[in-house]
Amino acid sequence: MTIKFMYSHLNGFEWLNHHHPALWAEITEAIAQVDAESCKNKQSKEKTKIDKMLYSPIEMNQHLKLQFEQRGWKEERYAYYVTDDYKITRQVVNLPSEEQKRIIEQAGLTATPSYHQTDFVKNRVSVEVQFGKYPFIEFDLFVKHLGFFIGDGIDLGIEIIPTKNLQSSMSSGPGYYERTLTHILRQGRGNPSVPLIIIGVE
86 φ, ψ (degrees, to nearest 5): -60, -50
Kindly state whether residue 100 falls inside one of the protein's structural domains.
no
- Total number of domains constituting the chain: 1
Kindly state whether residue 185 falls inside one of the protein's structural domains.
yes
Kindly state whether residue 113 falls inside one of the protein's structural domains.
no
pTM of the shown model:
0.88
| pLDDT, mean of each 10-residue run, the chain (202 residues) | 97 97 97 93 71 87 96 92 96 91 97 93 96 86 90 94 93 86 89 95 96
Residue 9 sits in which domain range? 3-75+121-201
Kindly state whether residue 108 falls inside one of the protein's structural domains.
no
What is the C-alpha separation between 119 and 121, in angstroms, rounded? 7
For residue 196, the domain's CATH number is 3.40.91.20
